[in-house]
Amino acid sequence: MSQRVEEANQGQTEPQLRRVMGPKLLLLFIVGDILGAGVYAVTGTIAGGVGGIAWFPFLLAFTVAALTATSYLELVTKYPQAAGAALYAHKAFKIHFVTFLVAFAVISSGITSAATSSRLLGSNLLAGLEATLGDAGLGWIPIPGDETLGLVVAMLFIALLAAINLRGVGESVKFNVVLTLVEMLALAIVIGIGLWVMARGDADLARVVDFQGADGTSVILAITIATAVAFFSMVGFEDSVNMVEETKDPERLFPRAMFTGLGIAVVIYMLVAVAVVSILSLDQIAANAESETGVLLAAVQEGVPGFPVSTIFPFLTVFAVANTALINMMMASRLVYGLAKQNVLPSPLASVLPGRRTPWAGIVFATLLALALVLIVEQLAESTVSALAGTTGLLLLCVFAVVNISVLVLRREPATGTFRAPTFAPVVAAVACLALAGPWAREREAWVQYEIAGALLALGVVLWLVTWLINRRTSRDTAIENVDELKS
SS3 string, 128-197, reads HHHHHCCCCCCCCCCCCCCHHHHHHHHHHHHHHHHHHHHHCHHHHHHHHHHHHHHHHHHHHHHHHHHHHH
Say if CB 81 and CB 89 are below 8 A apart. no
188 in a structural domain = yes
The DSSP string of 346-399 is -GGGG---TTT---HHHHHHHHHHHHHHHHHHHHH-S-HHHHHHHHHHHHHHHH
The reply to whether 222 falls in a domain is yes
Report helix, strand or coil for 23.
Answer: helix
Q: Which residues pair with 247 in a beta bridge?
A: 21
Confidence of residue 236 (pLDDT cuts 50, 70, 90): confident
Q: 241-282 pLDDT, tens per residue?
A: 666 656 677 777 778 888 898 999 999 999 999 999 999 888
Q: Is the pLDDT assigned to residue 80 strictly greater than 90?
A: no
In a domain, 18, yes or no: no
Could you list the residue range(s) of the whole structural domain that residue 292 is in? Answer: 27-485
**Which pLDDT score is estimated for 10?**
39
pLDDT of residue 472 exceeding 70, the answer is yes
Whether 20 is covered by a domain: the verdict is no
Asked whether the predicted pLDDT for residue 483 surpasses 90, the reply is no
Q: How far is CA 266 from CA 198, 260, 425, in A?
A: 21, 10, 19
Collapsed DSSP state (helix, strand, coil) of residue 39? helix
Whether 134 maps to a domain, the answer reads yes
Q: What confidence tier does 13 reach under pLDDT thresholds 50, 70, 90?
A: very low
**Mean pLDDT computed over every residue of the chain:** 82
Cα–Cα distance between 326 and 33 in angstroms, integer?
9
Three-class SS of residue 75? helix
In this structure, is residue 11 part of a structural domain? no
Q: Are 54 and 390 in contact (CB under 8 A)?
A: no
How high is the pLDDT of residue 385?
A: 86
Give every CB contact of residue 293 below 8 A, 6+ residues apart in sequence. Answer: 120, 123, 124, 127, 314, 317
Is 10 within a domain? no
Dist. CA 254–CA 244, nearest whole Å: 8
Of 443, 353, 53, the C-alpha closest to 209 is 53
127-163 pLDDT, tens digit per residue, is 888 777 766 555 566 666 667 788 899 999 999 999 9
Q: By the 8 A CB rule, do 143 and 130 touch?
A: yes
In a domain, 284, yes or no: yes
- 429 in Cβ contact with 398 (< 8 Å): no
What integer is the mean pLDDT of 456-472? 90
Quick: pLDDT tens for 94-128: 888 888 999 899 999 999 999 998 988 888 888 88
Helix (H) or strand (E) holding 16: strand 15-17
User: DSSP string covering 307-335, please?
Assistant: -HHHHHHHHHHHHHHHHHHHHHHHHHHHH
State how many domains the chain has. 1
- Cα distance between residue 278 and residue 469, in whole Å: 59
- CATH number at 385 reads 1.20.1740.10
Closest of 38, 33, 41 to residue 381, by C-alpha: 41
- With 50 as the cut, is the pLDDT of residue 380 above it? yes
Q: Give the largest CA-CA distance in the chain.
A: 75
